[in-house]
Copies of this chain bind each other. A is one copy, B any other.
Amino acid sequence: MASVKDVAKLAGVSVATVSRVLNDSAAVSPGARARVQAAVDELGYRPNAVARSLRTDATRTIGLVIGDILNPFFTELARAVEDEARTLGLSVVIGNADERPERQDHYVRTLLEQRVDGLLLCPTAEITPLVRDTVAAGLPLVFLDRTLPGLEVPAVRADGAAAVDALVAHLKRLGHRRIAFVSGPALLSTGRERTDAFISALARHGLEVRPEYLEAGDFQAASGRAGAARLLELPEPPEVIFAGDNLMALGALDEIRARGLRIPGDVGLASYDDVPWFTHLDPPITAIGQPVQDLGRRAVRALAERVAGRPVEPVVLQARLLVRRSCGETEGSG
């Protein structure tokens, strides 16, 4: 593959001049510029980003480690990150942690070795030593969606407390009193926050918090199904099941269907997270939607700031309630 040297020879100039026109980093005579361009075209020269990175100590690449690539929430997030990065001329390397700390670390390590300029991390449960070291080493880092307590790292995330409150108010208005929640892992900030928000909202609206209506899930479909099964077996089953993420809602849906129950006639269903196919179900699922596009874009911009050495503030966006028809609503307006 052709290198600057080849281009220089063909154009009859020095490699320095070639580099100058390639990066238009300094004044170059029109004639030289033209000859270089011609040589570049003729040779089909492509700059070697590896060599450039070695020299400049910058890869123009950021890493993104997401929780689970099969979760549509993260897919959409990845896409948003990607879009924003592209407009900034950045490449993004995606790592799929599959919700496993050791796999997260695998990617963090790889990304570190690839010398990405910065890292967007949706951290799995624990603070791993590697993550701690990475922070300590000063690599520009921004947490996305989830956060880790006790680490000096800015986070870009959505707050769902108000939306959860609105959901509970909505359900109460519809006449529901027995609302159950299938939570995410308490080890994840998002898991904890949603559970806290739910419990607070119940209290605020004067609804009883029944321990048996709190099922612990892990953000995966199977746990949603299992949780729903236990809830539906209860002597006094809930009127509405609120799933802590879209995958668990899917699991709950399965279980409800498998039991031959009808939504919302026999039991209502609501979900934290909105995904495209929720609107295509019959009935469409009432959900709490996060500003995923914004989350992704803001995260990239925050990281770019950090890479540029500027300090950044945490970003908290608001999730919102999307009233549809899975909880006994008669109209679809919110």
Contact = CB atoms under 8 A, between A and B. Distances in A.
Contact of A75 (B59, B75, B137): B75
Given A44-B137, A114-B50, A280-B254, A69 B91 contact: no
Nearest to A262: B282
A128 interface: no
Nearest to A93: B93
B114 A44 contact: no
A106 B83 CA distance: 13
A137 to B, nearest CB: 7
Given A75-B69, A112-B46, A91 B91 contact: no
Given A91-B93, A113-B46, A253-B280, A82 B53 contact: no
Number of copies of this kind of chain in the complex: 2
A50 B59 contact: yes
B54 A82 contact: no
A46 to B, nearest CB: 5
Interface in A196-250: 250
Contacts of A113: 46-49
A79 interface: yes
Interface in A44-76: 44, 46-51, 53-54, 59, 61, 69-70, 72, 75-76
Contacts of A27: none
A257 interface: yes
Given A70-B75, A78-B69, A282-B282, A54 B50 contact: yes
Contact of A49 (B46, B106, B115, B280): B115
Contacts of A93: 91, 93
Given A70-B76, A78-B69, A254-B280, A49 B114 contact: yes
Contacts of A47: 113
A110 B50 CA distance: 11
Interface in A1-59: 1, 44, 46-51, 53-54, 59
A188 interface: no
Given A46-B113, A69-B78, A79-B96, 16 more contacts: A1-B137, A46-B109, A49-B113, A49-B115, A50-B50, A50-B59, A50-B114, A69-B82, A70-B75, A75-B75, A94-B94, A250-B276, A253-B280, A254-B280, A280-B281, A281-B282
